[in-house]
Amino acid sequence: MHRLLVMLLMLASCAPMPVPATLPPEIAAVLPVTCKQVLYVTAADEQSTSAQLRMLQRTDADTWTLVGETIPVRIGRHGLAWGAGEPALPVPAGARIKKEGDGCAPIGIFRITQAFGSEPSPKGIKLPYLHCTAHHFGIDDVRSRFYNQIVDDREVTGDWTSPETMIPSSGCYKLGAVIAHNPRHQPGLGSCIFLHVWQGETIPSSGCTAMSEPHLRKVLTWLDPTADPRLVQLVEPR
């Protein structure tokens, strides 16, 4: 009996424990109290095209705990630039500002508003889900009143010249989520920033945060709209 108890205690001591993860204090301080989930993406510097994603859960003690493994992601082919998020962060003097077509992923705090994809109804996703068809487009035309929105061309009158199909042949939008960068749709500040499937582990995105399909499914099934989830995307604090 004594030997069994010792073995059980040894096994318990080897059991995985929640790994604490630390958001920068200035970031944690401005997150709304309703936000219980964060996708924390950090890159080595603003020129990096690769980064690490961690799923963080707010605890009852108002700390943040890592959920699952760290996930490798690809970001913009030109690195990072400061974006327009909610809440807005102070931009350092002389820093690059996210612009339409610059190939940069945005730095900041952003709401994660909905999931989307070419699958009719993927299992386990709790976010509002948009099933995309050949009629759905992401609008990056700064002159369009639908700038920075996904539209169904059967429901609106088109006023754009450069729509992006939401079912590209690459399959990168097979599954994804909308990142609310530039939520006021200000022309030229950048459009259609998503989480999506990467085109390869060495291939950067045009400004989105991309990862393998299995990792993306894990992330999207974890996200819960009642937890007011946010993407926090930064250069790794020194």
pLDDT digits (tens, 9 = 90+) for 80-134: 999 999 999 999 999 999 999 999 999 999 999 999 999 999 999 999 999 999 9
Q: Is residue 175 part of a domain?
A: yes
Please say whether the beta carbons of 111 and 157 come within 8 A: no
Q: Is residue 101 part of a domain?
A: yes
Please say whether the beta carbons of 212 and 195 come within 8 A: no
* pLDDT above 80: residue 41: yes
What does the pLDDT look like over 126-157, one tens digit per residue?
999 999 999 999 999 999 999 999 999 999 99
* pLDDT above 90: residue 17: no
Please say whether the beta carbons of 68 and 95 come within 8 A: no
- Residue 238: how many CA atoms within 13 Å on its side-chain side? 1
Q: How many separate domains does the chain show?
A: 1
Q: 186 vs 121, which has greater pLDDT?
A: 186
Q: Is residue 82 part of a domain?
A: yes
- CA atoms of 97 and 151, how far apart (whole Å): 26
Q: What pLDDT does 20 receive?
A: 46
Q: Is residue 223 part of a domain?
A: yes
Q: What pLDDT does 214 receive?
A: 98
Tokens of 161: 């010249």
* Confidence label for 9 from pLDDT (cuts 50, 70 and 90): very low
Q: Is residue 10 part of a domain?
A: no
Q: What pLDDT does 21 receive?
A: 63
Q: Is residue 168 part of a domain?
A: yes
Model's pTM, two decimal places?
A: 0.90
Cα radius of gyration rounded to whole Å, the chain: 19
Tokens of 210: 């991309």
Task: Give the domain range for residue 213.
Answer: 27-235
Please say whether the beta carbons of 99 and 190 come within 8 A: yes
